[in-house]
Each structure stands twice: as structure tokens, then as C-alpha cells.
Amino acid sequence: MTAEKAPAVLTPTATTAAGATLSRRTPRPQRFLVTRPTYFDVVYSINPWMHTDVDTDAGLAMRQWENLVATFRRLGHEVEICEGAPGLPDMVFAANAGTVIDGVAVPAKFSTDKRSGEEKPYTDWFRDHVGSVVVPTLVNEGEGDLLWTGRLLLAGSGFRTDPLAHNEVAEALGVPLVPLKLVDPSFYHLDTALAVLDTGSAGASGRAETIAYYPGAFSAGSQAALRRLYPDAIIASRADAEWFALNAVSDGRNVVVPEQAPTFARQLEERGFVPVPVDVSEFRKAGGGAKCCTLILR
């Protein structure tokens, strides 16, 4: 067994078009929920990335996951662990467990019985560790399709989350919502096609929210909405999106991204972020990446 190499941390040196050095971004310590991949495997297919004839390496998956968790802790984040359960190979993808904002958790209600067994252990965990839990009645797949920007809840649908669930979740959390339609099955969850990089800051002089996304994953109307809301968004290539570059975890400065997407890493540097490359390629076999393995507990 070889030791995992430490992730490279790149220092941003980019400048704006006017030649002024970009202001240094400020990281915000966060609290994450993750689930150990004890039972991770690909034994069914519920998205285009899953092929049951492709073997998974349980040892490699565990080492990659442990390195991801170590990376979060090295960056100053708090990491909590909900243990997985037999028969739930996708439970490692903790982002789908629910959505948590201001101490209120809305657990997931999965679209497939292949994952519905995850609902109870995650809901029990929320009841033990989060201030308030609102159990949904409509299908939503947590932060897979519900991404908080600090101002708006970007809500995806098209393949998993029921669009009628958007209002249910927004009402439970007390937040404004923007619906977005996904049209490419390769990007079946919003967090495979869009990343919230910086939630911005309040006040007239504060930083604006920053996102990155792959336009081809969205309907024409949703592309137009994203252009209006985020004219300065980072636009990722399909090649990088297919490596789940947009399935990134950001603290407002450091962005944990797949090491297989160097072009996206350079785009991040140009905007003053610090890419932190990791290898989570074993989870790509199930259609997941770093963010899929990570739920933000706000």
C-alpha cells in the first residue's frame, strides 16, 4: 500500500484585465458531514456513470476518502462522520442526505428505492446533531440539487428532485429560490454542473457571490437566468465538467477540486481562488466527486 500524496496548494498570482492584482480571498471555516465508504460499490445503475461490469477498488476508495477528509481538516474545517450501513453503497455521497441552513435540516426523500434506505439514518443523525428537522413529503435529493449561495437557493430538477419540492424546501428553510432545469443526463444533479465558490459578503462594498458552471448541462431558459444572475461566473469546459470539476468544495478561498481538471484549476487561480487538487476518481465510477461526498452543515 502506498501513502496518499499530500494535495498541492496553488498560490493565486493572477491579475485582472486592468493589471491590478486580485484581492486576496478570505476562507471561512466550515462544518462538514461525511460518510465513510465502508460499503461503497457499484451494484446497480441509476445514472450514466454507473456500470456494474466495472470493478471498484474498496481499498483505493477508502484511501481517497481519507485523504479528502484529511484535506478538509488541514484547511481548518470541522468534519463530522455518519457511519454507513450495509446494503447502502451510495451512502458515502453525504451531500444527498439533505439541506441544512441556519440550523434547520430538510432531509432527502430519494427518487429511487435504491437509495431510500439512506433516509432514516441521515434523518436520525440530523435529529441528534442539528437544531431543527423538517421532514419533506416530496422528492428532493439534498445538496445534490439544492445549493445555497448565501443569498439564494439554486434548485435543480430534471432528473432527480421533483420541481414541486423546491417550494417545500424553500418554505421550510425560509429562503428565496431560483429553479434551474438540467437537461443532460451526464449531469443529473445540480452539484455536478454548478459550484458555489464564494457566498460573498454583505454591504455595498462587500464581495459578490461567485459561482462556476457548465452551460451545456442546463436548459436555454436556465442558462439565461444564470447569465443574468451571475454575469461574472466562471464557465467550465465539458471536459473538466466530466471530471466533476464543478463538484467542488469551496470555503471562499480554497477550492477542493479533482486533480484531473487542471484547466479549471487555472481558471480558479485567475479569479483569486486557491485550487486544492485531490484524487477522488474511484467515486466517479458511481457518478460522484468531492462535493457529493460532503454535506455542508450551516
Give per-residue pLDDT as tens, 112-134. Answer: 999 999 999 999 999 999 989 99
Q: Integer distance in angstroms from the first to the last C-alpha of the chain?
A: 36
pLDDT in tens, 73-106: 999 999 999 999 999 999 999 999 999 999 999 9
Question: What pTM, to 2 d.p., does this model score?
Answer: 0.91
Nearest to 105 by CA among 288, 296, 248, 252: 296
Nearest to 290 by CA among 249, 262, 261: 249
What is the pLDDT, as a whole number, of residue 252? 98
- Cβ neighbours, 10 Å, residue 227: 12
Q: Which residues are catalytic?
A: 189, 292
Over range 177-186, report the average pLDDT: 98
Nearest to 13 by CA among 285, 266, 242: 266
What is the pLDDT, as a whole number, of residue 208? 80
What is the pLDDT, as a whole number, of residue 23? 58
CB 297 within 8 A of CB 94: no
Q: Which CATH class is domain 31-296?
A: alpha beta
What is the pLDDT, as a whole number, of residue 200? 82
Over range 194-199, report the average pLDDT: 98
The full set of domain ranges for the chain reads 31-296
Over range 285-295, report the average pLDDT: 98
Instruction: Output the average pLDDT for the chain.
Output: 92
Over range 145-165, report the average pLDDT: 98
Nearest to 211 by CA among 161, 248, 262: 248
d(CA 193, CA 208): 20
Nearest to 233 by CA among 298, 146, 294, 154: 154
Nearest to 73 by CA among 194, 254, 239: 254
pLDDT in tens, 18-62: 333 355 799 999 999 999 999 999 999 999 999 999 999 999 999
**DSSP per residue, 213-270:** E-GGGB-HHHHHHHHHH-TTPEEPPHHHHTTTTTS-EESSSEEEEETT-HHHHHHHHH
What is the pLDDT, as a whole number, of residue 7? 46
What is the pLDDT, as a whole number, of residue 30? 98
Side chain identity at residue 125, one-letter code = W
Over range 193-210, report the average pLDDT: 79
Residue 281, pLDDT > 90, answer: yes
What is the bridge-based pairing of β-strands 153-157 and 177-181?
A: parallel
Over range 219-225, report the average pLDDT: 98
User: Helices then strands (H, E): number in the chain?
Assistant: 7, 15
What is the pLDDT, as a whole number, of residue 204? 44
